[in-house]
Chain A
Amino acid sequence: MVRVMVVDDHPMWRDAVERDLQAAGHEVVGVASNGREAMARFPAAAPQVVVLDLQLPDHSGVQVTSMMLEHDPAARVLILSASGEQDDVLDAVKAGATGYLVKSASSAELVSAVTRVADGDTVFTPGLAGLVLGEFRRIADGPADDPRDQLTERETEILKMVATGMSYKQIAARLVLSHRTVQNHVQNTLRKLQMNNRVQLTRWAIEHGLDDGG
């Protein structure tokens, strides 16, 4: 059983997600329809997983993600999005979300994603894998003294397979690796992405003299 919080501004969706999760034996400990409500209820609800719609009326999906994880680093954020707006998705993942699902995913896919995210696993769609690959490519094409981490050849190879719709099982079979190893590689790509984001933020802060006070 996983303690879940559902944040979505459409009541129809909130109810459907809640029903699906409860039917699968999970506990919905809180719901919210915008970023403000979500932040107010998050500490008391203390969910293990937050199922978060990125298109909130106050446009705060990305901030909500980083604020929640700052408050409780053990929490996991699973993004559920209808239109898959690319920049927001990438930003939310950089801010610490470990899963991404489009709303057309089936109930079974949603339930399984919540369980996997709660276990510390990452849930990627092919679209997100493409965005992450693009992000690392941009770093690779940038200046050589960039302190941000690059992907290893293996990680790039695996991410490419995720981006072309292959399951971890298929990837493991094709590369003759264990399922666990594939999982670790995918997790590493996300960890590097989030680490790079922090490096970038720190560098930005130093360049703009924000570290003077501290």
Chain B
Amino acid sequence: MVVTVNMVGLNVYRRDSFSHPELGLAVVSACVAWTGAAVWLYRSRARRTPALLVADLLIAVAAIAVTPWVKSEAFLATVPGFWVMGALLAWAIHWHWKGGLVAAVVLSATDLAPREVVDQGNYGNVFLVLVGGPVVGFLCESLQRMARERDAAERAAAAAEERTRLARAVHDGVLQVLAMVQRRGEAAGGEWAELGRLAGEQERGLRSLIRQQDTVATAPGGRVDLAGALEAMATAHPVRVELATPGGSVLVPERVATETVAAVRACLDNVAAHVGPDATAWVLAQAGGDSVTVSVRDDGPGITDGRLDEAEAEGRFGVASSIRGRVEELGGAATVDSGPWGTEWELTVPLA
């Protein structure tokens, strides 16, 4: 298409040289005929062969070369004039900057060779051709590469969307079956109960994966989704965790997310250590405009009053430094409450 537009433009350029000597009429006519032929030839991708490009350039060269015979020896402008630009651009588009350079050199050499005097104007034209050819070629290359990259990105996005849709359909079926196995296994007892428990674990894992898939990994401005990060950590943790989030993503600065998740992990490690592997923990994330609060509760027997302070006083900083330390480092506060209903940590972190 670009070639076609250029050719049409060149017909206008060609009119300028039309006023020159009558002897050139045949050459000009040939040029017009070739223009028409070239427009038709270039239109189809299949016909845009190297042979056509070489022929195009050779005709342009020939048109310049015959100038000394159709005009006087001391001619000023060649018969085809700017018309040769068509061949030059075709080369630049097809073979990029290298093609542009080759065509420019060939045309310039043909133009300069028969001239007796090379004046300022000739030099300027040649210079422009030598610079313009490669530059146009380079631009074409960039444009084509950008178009290819855009197409690839669009294809990738479409594929990802389709994958998500399929995954949802598959997941739904699998979740149904896993939930069913869990339910029936529990009712049947014995070995079946164990099978049911395993199905339940898988079901929870899959459900959390689906939820993570719905959240953005990284949002603009280096903010990450705390709900998704908590979900990922909780799924991997040996303690059975039930996570409650406000719905949607909870965007916080990356450092806040990393440190908060680490503090919650420390809480869960603590649950595993003090309540045992069969413990269940509940994690609730809440987000306000200026702070996030994460509560972690377990169903263990609770810790006696002051035991944490005692441990801190004795220099056993395990729990205190990994939970309190991290949260306080972020400018937040961590409180712990315990009773017959279990132990609950509440971590509040400001969002500056």
Residues of A within 8 A of B (CB): 10, 12-13, 16, 55, 82-84, 86-87, 90, 102-107, 126-127, 129-131, 133-135, 137-138, 140-141, 160, 163-166, 170, 173-174
Residues of B within 8 A of A (CB): 171-172, 175-176, 178-180, 182-184, 186-187, 200, 203-204, 207, 210-211, 214, 242-248, 280, 282-289, 295-297, 299, 339-341, 344
| Inter-chain contact B244/A164, CB cutoff 8 Å | yes
Cα separation A12 to B184 with both chains bound (whole Å) = 12
| Inter-chain contact B183/A104, CB cutoff 8 Å | yes
Known pairs A12-B176, A126-B244; A86 contacts B211 (CB<8 A): yes
Chain A residues, Cβ within 8 Å of B186: 106
Number of A-B contacts (CB under 8 A): 117
| Inter-chain contact A137/B286, CB cutoff 8 Å | yes
Known pairs A103-B175, A165-B297; A86 contacts B210 (CB<8 A): no
Cα separation A82 to B200 with both chains bound (whole Å) = 12
| Inter-chain contact A83/B247, CB cutoff 8 Å | no
| Inter-chain contact B203/A137, CB cutoff 8 Å | no
Name the residue among A104, A134, A135, A170 with the largest chain B CB count within 10 angstroms.
A104
| Inter-chain contact A164/B344, CB cutoff 8 Å | yes
Cα separation A13 to B180 with both chains bound (whole Å) = 7
Which of B247, B282, B284 is in CB contact (< 8 Å) with A87? B247
Chain A residues, Cβ within 8 Å of B178: 104
Query: Which residue from chain A places its CB closest to the CB of B285 in the assembled complex?
Result: A130
Chain A residues, Cβ within 8 Å of B295: 160, 163-164
| Inter-chain contact A137/B287, CB cutoff 8 Å | yes
| Inter-chain contact B280/A165, CB cutoff 8 Å | yes
Can you name 17 A-B residue pairings with CB atoms under 8 Å? Answer: A12-B180, A13-B180, A16-B184, A86-B245, A102-B207, A103-B176, A103-B179, A103-B183, A106-B186, A107-B187, A130-B245, A131-B244, A131-B245, A131-B246, A137-B287, A141-B288, A141-B289
| Inter-chain contact A104/B248, CB cutoff 8 Å | no
Chain A residues, Cβ within 8 Å of B187: 106-107
| Inter-chain contact A16/B247, CB cutoff 8 Å | no
| Inter-chain contact B183/A16, CB cutoff 8 Å | yes
Which of B176, B200, B284 is in CB contact (< 8 Å) with A163? B284
Name the residue among B187, B246, B340, B344 with the largest chain A CB count within 10 angstroms.
B246
Cα separation A42 to B176 with both chains bound (whole Å) = 25
| Inter-chain contact B341/A126, CB cutoff 8 Å | no
| Inter-chain contact A133/B246, CB cutoff 8 Å | yes
Chain A residues, Cβ within 8 Å of B280: 165
| Nearest Cβ on chain A to B86's Cβ, whole angstroms | 58
| Nearest Cβ on chain A to B334's Cβ, whole angstroms | 16
Chain A residues, Cβ within 8 Å of B176: 10, 12-13, 82, 103
| Inter-chain contact B207/A84, CB cutoff 8 Å | yes
| Inter-chain contact A164/B287, CB cutoff 8 Å | no
Chain A residues, Cβ within 8 Å of B242: 126-127, 165
Chain B residues, Cβ within 8 Å of A129: 244, 284
| Inter-chain contact A137/B288, CB cutoff 8 Å | yes
